[in-house]
Amino acid sequence: MHFLRDYLDKMAASENENRQRQIVVLISGSGTNLQALIDAQNTPALPNTSISLVISNRKAAYGLTRAQNAQPPIPTAYLALQPYLKSHPGKTRTDYDKEIARLVLQGKPDLVVLAGWMHIMSESFLDVLGGETILDGEPKVEKPIPVINLHPALPGAFDGSNAIGRAYEAFQKGEIKNSGVMVHRVIKEVDRGEPLIVKEVEIKEGEPIEAFEERSGEAVIDILDLMRRKKGKCILIVYSTA
């Protein structure tokens, strides 16, 4: 995984490794993984790290409430695809993705985390964060902003929405013995980017889905902490667009 090694080398040479780092989190639903990140910010699991902005493409996403109830409250933003297209005749999905990138830049992130974000990002989003496209009225991104996705399933299993619920149902039917969580790099195909870290999560016979959901959230923090401890750095070093 050369992109990890190269980025680690760059971080090791940085003079600002101990500064406060900021994460922007994109969500679409209940925000289970977001809550895990909220609980972990500025702790040994995510040291010197805070969430600067939470963005949702669904107005009713409970993750927005989680962000607003955090201490201190985390700023939030909302922008949905269809309302955007209706209010901007002639605009396309690509334009929408650029506007999401514009919102992301407002959070001045060191890292962007897709945590249950149910919208496949086009190349236009990654081009803005990578510094290849400059948005009107915005400065050029001088240093590419890494983008990773947290997905509560094993690679190739339960892609897309409601992964925890579908895994739990499959376990009840005897189709699987366990599930898992993974962190992977973002590409055009949903949840198909190269996995960076994968952790299995046990599903216990007779347990309610809420218990499995909670354990999945704990596993997310475990793998983020593992990434940090492997190199003695924080989570922000684990991914590079290079």
Catalytic residues: 151
What whole-number distance in Å separates Cα of residue 201 and Cα of residue 178? 6
SS (H, E, C) the chain: CHHHHHHHHHHHCCCCCCCCEEEEEEECCCCHHHHHHHHHECCCCECCEEEEEEEECCCCCHHHHHHHHCCCCCCEEECCHHHHHHHCCCCCHHHHHHHHHHHHHHCCCCEEEEECCCCCCCHHHHHHHCCCCCCCCCCCCCCCCCEEEEECCCCCCCCCCCHHHHHHHHHHCCCCCEEEEEEEECCCCCCCCCEEEEEEEECCCCCCHHHHHHHHHHHHHHHHHHHHHHHCCCHHHCCCCC
Which positions ≥6 away from 163 have C-beta within 8 Å? 151, 152, 153, 157, 179
**17 close to 11: Cβ distance less than 8 angstroms:** yes
